Amino acid sequence: MSADTQETGRRTVVVTGASAGLGYHAAEQLAAQGHRVVLATRNPDRGAAAERSIRKHVDDADLVHLHLDLADLGSVREAASELPGLGPVHALLNNAGVVGSARPQRTAQGFELQVGTNHLGHFAWTALALPALDQDTGRVVHLGSIAHRFATLDRTDPLAVGRYEGHRQYSRSKLAVMLFGFELAQRLGDAGSRIRSVVAHPGLALDAAAPPRPDVAPTRSEPAWMRAGSGWVAQGKDAGAWPLVHAAVGDGVRSGEYWGPGGPLQFAGPPTLVPARPRAHDRTVAARLWTASERATGVTFALDALG
């Protein structure tokens, strides 16, 4: 674990997409620090496999399961309704997502899959889960990406897809996530809430460069030659999880910050404060996205009740 990530007391952290990739490694690292980890996963079998793997590497890991399918708003509502029964929750690590679907697919409610899962699912989840967060120390961590540098949203309809291309749509979904994360920080502050909204990204993080976890399925297939390039242009998903874990439980993290790898181009390196493109901080675009997201999901934020 990075020396830059300091333990700040035992916390309960909900990690979405904890059964593979960055989410798995973040969950393992949090458990190793002594935190209670809620494994929020879509597939129960993969969730159980992730638990077995974590227990092999972390003695006395404190793990809880929560079924959450971010591509189904009904599942999002049900999962959020179960949070109060878990006791005080200190952080939501909103990691789960779909990366580069080759063909257009839809969520249960008919939204394009990548924006519908990566942004809209987490938008609704966060709104519904905020009341369960510890109101003095709670944090929401949003998984950003260097891919936001290559995207823009439609000026009149920020959820519009237009011509579909898988990786372009992924970039748009991540720009939406980051606009939402930074805007939530502003609105929480305006409401007088102490809950922090933080964005973090993993750099260029590869399963092929991470320590093997045979029980856990890789998030996607990567050619073996990618391992040779790790360390200077990429890093393992275990290292990519460091900024996420630091944003969730590290000392000195403030609302509205953006954490990522400190190396060249933010591809690899230890967690540090990094800049995002101005487009990710555009509050006019963020306001349009917020309104469109509330309309699409039917979920609104009761921020005044948190202050």
Residues carrying an active site annotation: 170
Neighbouring residues of 240: CB distance < 8 A, sequence distance ≥ 6: 22, 25, 202, 203, 204, 205, 261
Looking at residue 53, its amino acid is: S
The answer to whether 117 and 174 are in contact (CB under 8 A) is no
- Hey, what long-range contacts does 112-116 have (CB within 8 A, 24 or more apart)? 112/161, 112/164, 112/169, 113/71, 114/166, 114/169, 114/170, 114/172, 114/173, 115/159, 115/161, 115/169, 115/172, 115/173, 115/176, 116/71
Alpha-carbon torsion angle 243, 247, 252, 258, nearest 10:
80
Reduced to 3 states, what is the DSSP secondary structure of residue 119? helix
The answer to whether 271 and 258 are in contact (CB under 8 A) is no
Looking at residue 263, its amino acid is: G
Euclidean distance between CA atoms 266 and 288, whole angstroms: 29
Per DSSP, 211 falls in state P
Per DSSP, 112 falls in state B
Euclidean distance between CA atoms 231 and 267, whole angstroms: 9
Q: Token match 């939406």: residue?
A: 176
Q: Tokens for 261, please give them.
A: 């790898």
Euclidean distance between CA atoms 77 and 142, whole angstroms: 19
